[in-house]
Amino acid sequence: MRDYAIVTKDLTKVFITKERKGFLKRGTKKRIIAVDHVNFKVRNGEIFGLLGPNGAGKTTTIKLLATLLIPDDGEAWVNGYHIVQEADKVRESIGVSLYSDRGLYWKLTGRENLRYFAFLYHLPPKVAERRIEDLLEIVDLKGDADKLVEEYSTGMKAKLNLARALLNDAPILMLDEPTLGLDPYSARRVRELILKLRDEGKTILLTTHNMEEADNLCDKIAIINKGKIVALGTPEDLKRMVERQDIVVIEAVNINETLIKILRSKDYVSYVSENIKDPLSMSGTLRIGLNENSREALPNLLALMAKYKIKVQYIKVTGPSLEDVFITLTKRGFYEEDQRTSTK
Partner 1 sequence: MRRIKELVLNNFLVVRAVFMREILYWIRYPMWFLTFFSFPYLVSGLFYSIGYALSGENATKYFSERAGTTNVFLYQLVGSAIFIISILMIEEVGYSIRAEQLRGTLEYNYIAKANKIVLWGSVVLPHGLVSLSTLAISLIPALYIGLKSINPLDLILGILVLFIGLLPLFGIGFIVAALTMRFKEPWAVTNIIKAFLSAFSGFNYPITILPLWLQYVSNMLPTTIVTNIIREAILFNRKLYTMNYQLGLLIFMSTIYSITAFTVYKKWEMEARKRGELSKY
Distance CA(219)–CA(40), nearest Å, equals 14
The window from 121-129, 264-272, 297-305, 320-328 that contacts partner 1 (CB under 8 A) reads: 121-129
Binders in 265-304 for partner 1, by CB under 8 A = none
| Beta pairing, strands 220-225 & 228-233 | antiparallel
By the rule CB under 8 A, 106 interacts with partner 1: yes
Q: Which of 66, 214, 217, 259 binds partner 1 (CB under 8 A)?
A: 66
CB nearer to partner 1: give 82 or 119: 119
By the rule CB under 8 A, 21 interacts with partner 1: no
CB nearer to partner 1: give 30 or 240: 30
3-state secondary structure of 252: strand
E strand or H helix that includes residue 285 = strand 283-290
By the rule CB under 8 A, 2 interacts with partner 1: no
By the rule CB under 8 A, 127 interacts with partner 1: no
By the rule CB under 8 A, 134 interacts with partner 1: no
Number of residues this chain uses to bind partner 1 (CB under 8 A):
38
By the rule CB under 8 A, 103 interacts with partner 1: yes
By the rule CB under 8 A, 209 interacts with partner 1: no
User: Distances from the Cα of 327 to the Cαs of 35, 54, 235, 273, 288, in angstroms?
Assistant: 20, 15, 15, 8, 11
Q: Which residues pair with 54 in a beta bridge?
A: none
CB nearer to partner 1: give 94 or 156: 94
Q: Which of 61, 67, 207, 343 binds partner 1 (CB under 8 A)?
A: 67
CB nearer to partner 1: give 88 or 199: 88
What b/e sequence results for 171-191 when a residue is b if at least 16 CB atoms lie within 10 Å of its CB, and e otherwise?
A: bbbbbbbbbbebeeebbebbb
Q: State the binding string over 153-192 for partner 1 (x if CB under 8 A, else -).
A: -----------x---x------------------------
Distance CA(9)–CA(16), nearest Å, equals 22
CB nearer to partner 1: give 115 or 202: 115
By the rule CB under 8 A, 63 interacts with partner 1: yes
By the rule CB under 8 A, 99 interacts with partner 1: yes
Q: Is 56 exposed, middle or buried (0-12, 13-18, 19+ CB in 10 A)?
A: buried
Q: Which of 16, 236, 258, 299 binds partner 1 (CB under 8 A)?
A: 16
Distance CA(78)–CA(254), nearest Å, equals 49
The window from 110-118, 243-251, 262-270, 302-310 that contacts partner 1 (CB under 8 A) reads: 110-118
E strand or H helix that includes residue 323 = helix 322-330
Contact 34, 17 (CB under 8 A): no
Distance CA(221)–CA(211), nearest Å, equals 11
Residue of 272, 216, 206, 215 whose CA lies nearest to 238: 215
By the rule CB under 8 A, 4 interacts with partner 1: no
Residues in contact with partner 1 by CB under 8 A are 13, 15-16, 60, 63, 66-70, 88, 91-92, 94, 96, 98-99, 102-108, 112, 115-117, 119-125, 148, 164, 168
